[in-house]
Each structure stands twice: as C-alpha cells, then as structure tokens.
C-alpha cells in the first residue's frame, strides 16, 4: 500500500514510466573501439543486456552509431524491458582554447563537424521514430558546453538542434552536461528542453567518500536553484576503481569506495525519485591513455570480462 501512495516525480508524470534503476551502457570489449569502427556483435550486446536486465530498467546510450542500432534491435527482438535515453555524439563546432588536451580545429574541420552533427541529429530522429516504445527520451549531446570540452558546440546551435528534433519526434528532449554550465550559460537552452540532465563526479573534484554524497546533492541543488520549474535527472554519477594519479589520487579510487558511493547515491535518489544513470555498466579499456591504470577505463560496475566488481557481488553473487 505504501508504494502506491508514493508521489510520482515530474519525470514519471512526463514519461508515464515508473522510477527504476538506471545505468549508462557502452558495450565495448577488449579490442573494440568506436573510434576505429569496431563494434560489439548482436550476441555480445544480447549477453550484456540479459545480464543488466536483472537489475536495471533504464539505459542511457551515448550516440546513434551501429552500437546503438544493435542495442535497440536486441531490446525489441528479445522483448527486453528497457527504456532507453538515446544520445548524439557531437563533434566540435568551434575551437576551445580552454581544453587541457587541445581542441583547435581549422575551418575545414569545423565545417565537416557541423555536417556530421546534422547527420547525427537526423539519425537520432530516425531511431527514435523507429523505436517509439523503447526510446523514452533523447539527448542532443554530451558535455559539449562545459569549459574544458574538446567538442564545444555553441548554445545557439544546441537550441537549433533541439527545435529540429522536437518538430520531428514526440519523445522528451534533454541535453547531458556537467552541472556547472546549467547554472549560467545554458539558460537559453533550458527554455527549449523538456528536462535537464546533469553530471556530478565528486571524485574528479578531489572529494573523498565522507563528503561525496553531500557534494553530489550540492551540485543537484545548485542547478535546481537556477531552474526550479524544470525537471532534473542525473545522467552521470559514479566512482572509478583504479587511477594512475592523473586527476584522481590513487588512494581515492577503489572497489570499496565505489561500493560505498553507489549505496549512498542509490539510497538518496531512490527516496527522492530522482532518475539517476550510474556511470557506468562495464569498464571500457579503449578510453583514455595507454596507461592500464588510466581512471577513464575503470568506472564500470562490472569488469570488461563481465565479472561483477565488489559493488555488484551481492546482486550477482
């Protein structure tokens, strides 16, 4: 009886879906790499989704590549109960001198990128229309406006893309971004969106586990304070399990810390009914530098061989 009396969140009312566990999914295994066009097979994606189906009902996908096409096909053909946020992999439309690892592009490359982005928007529209029961929302991009990004897209371009998407599909539209730009430069975009999607990473900002959840709550409340009338979800929050010391102290990355943060995050967001996509389902060895301890490679709740890390061992013991 108590569950039936729980007040629905704005997202639940908007989508007609019930709050549930949510995770970011990118299924690349050893030797696979989206930048090289080496994608997981249908059977590999099916294996992943059957594993995830035991604990999650919402998935977030980052692009409209062959990987996304395969995921959507598996969900439909295998009759799996997943609700998908489908994204776009945006390329830089302007250079960004604030990117620490370099993001300067000539005019020819920027023109090529704009064409790529336009084509990706068309692919997003097509897939959302093809899978209306599975794709519950779409995102116009990922971390394309934060000051350090290597794929900066002007806010006015994002607004135009959102308007184009909304004129062609019925699903709600969002944009996935670090919490900071939502407090300032993204105000024109907020007016066009159905809901806001924020990223919060205490461990990237030198927080320890003792204050990590409070830091995440602070990030959320900062955005909420700027846009109190717009629904907010969290599309990335997690904890890496290894680090080489670049950006994250070695001592502050472990399976024990990931387990603790995950439990705290899930308790809070479930109680508050904040749709939260944990980053991420599986480790991705293709990411970051060649250093095997590179933190970008180790955010998974499962290792790349699909064995559960400590955080998942009670559920998948």
Q: Is the pLDDT of residue 90 over 80?
A: yes
CA dihedral 33, 34, 37, 38 (to 10 degrees): 40
Q: Partners of 139 in the beta sheet?
A: 174
Is 1 inside a domain boundary?
no
Q: What is the per-residue pLDDT for 7?
A: 82
Packing angle, helices 212-226 and 255-272, rounded to 10: 40
Q: Is the pLDDT of residue 5 over 90?
A: no
Q: What is the per-residue pLDDT for 4?
A: 47
110 touches 81 (CB < 8 A): no
Whole-number percent of the chain with pLDDT over 70: 98
| Local structure of residue 237 (DSSP, 8 states) | E
Is 2 inside a domain boundary?
no
Is 11 inside a domain boundary?
no
Region 143-161: what's the mean pLDDT? 98
Domain range holding 140?
20-312
Packing angle, helices 107-130 and 155-166, rounded to 10: 30
Is 111 inside a domain boundary?
yes
247 pLDDT band, cuts 50/70/90, is: very high
26 touches 280 (CB < 8 A): yes
- Tokens 């717009």 belong to 230
Q: Is the pLDDT of residue 2 over 70?
A: no
169-223 per-position pLDDT tens digit: 999 999 999 999 999 999 999 999 999 999 999 999 999 999 999 999 999 999 9
Please provide the average confidence, as pLDDT, over all residues in the chain: 97
Count of domains for the chain: 1
Is the N-terminal amide bond of 280 cis, ω within 30° of 0?
Answer: yes
**Best CA proximity match to 128, nearest among 164, 169, 158:** 169
266 touches 249 (CB < 8 A): no
Region 136-142: what's the mean pLDDT? 98
Is 6 inside a domain boundary?
no
The tokens for 113 are 């990128």
Is 13 inside a domain boundary?
no
Is 292 inside a domain boundary?
yes
Packing angle, helices 42-52 and 66-77, rounded to 10: 60
Any idea what the CATH number is for the domain that residue 105 is in? 3.20.20.80
Is 188 inside a domain boundary?
yes
113-127 per-position pLDDT tens digit: 999 999 999 999 999
Q: What is the per-residue pLDDT for 3?
A: 46
56 touches 21 (CB < 8 A): yes
Q: Is the pLDDT of residue 242 over 50?
A: yes
Q: Is 52 exposed, middle or buried (0-12, 13-18, 19+ CB in 10 A)?
A: buried
């Amino acid at each position: 009886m108590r569950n039936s009396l729980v007040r629905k969140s704005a997202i639940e009312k908007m989508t007609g879906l019930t709050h549930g566990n949510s995770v970011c999914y990118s299924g690349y295994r050893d030797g696979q790499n989206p930048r090289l066009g080496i994608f997981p097979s249908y059977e590999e994606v099916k294996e992943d989704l059957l594993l995830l189906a035991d604990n999650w009902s919402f998935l977030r996908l980052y692009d409209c590549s062959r990987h996304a096409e395969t995921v959507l096909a598996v969900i439909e053909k295998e009759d799996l109960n997943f609700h998908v946020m489908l994204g776009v992999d945006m390329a830089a439309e302007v250079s960004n001198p604030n990117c620490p690892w370099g993001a300067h592009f000539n005019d020819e490359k920027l023109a090529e990128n704009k064409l790529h982005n336009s084509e990706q928007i068309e692919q997003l529209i097509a897939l959302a229309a093809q899978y209306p029961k599975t794709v519950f929302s779409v995102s116009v991009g990922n971390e394309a406006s934060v000051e350090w990004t290597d794929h900066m897209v002007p806010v006015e371009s994002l607004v135009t893309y959102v308007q184009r998407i909304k004129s062609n599909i019925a699903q709600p539209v969002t944009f996935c971004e670090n919490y900071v730009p939502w407090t300032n430069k993204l105000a024109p975009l907020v007016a066009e969106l159905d809901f806001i999607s924020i990223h919060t990473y205490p461990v990237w900002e030198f927080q320890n586990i003792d204050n990590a959840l409070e830091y995440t709550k602070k990030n959320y409340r900062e955005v909420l304070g700027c846009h109190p009338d717009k629904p907010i979800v969290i599309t990335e929050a997690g904890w890496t399990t290894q680090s080489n010391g670049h950006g994250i102290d070695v001592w502050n990355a472990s399976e024990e810390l990931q387990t603790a943060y995950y439990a705290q995050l899930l308790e809070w967001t479930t109680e508050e009914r904040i749709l939260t996509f944990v980053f991420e389902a599986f480790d991705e060895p293709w990411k970051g530098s060649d250093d095997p301890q590179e933190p970008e490679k180790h955010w998974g709740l499962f290792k790349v061989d699909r064995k559960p890390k400590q955080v998942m061992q009670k559920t998948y013991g």
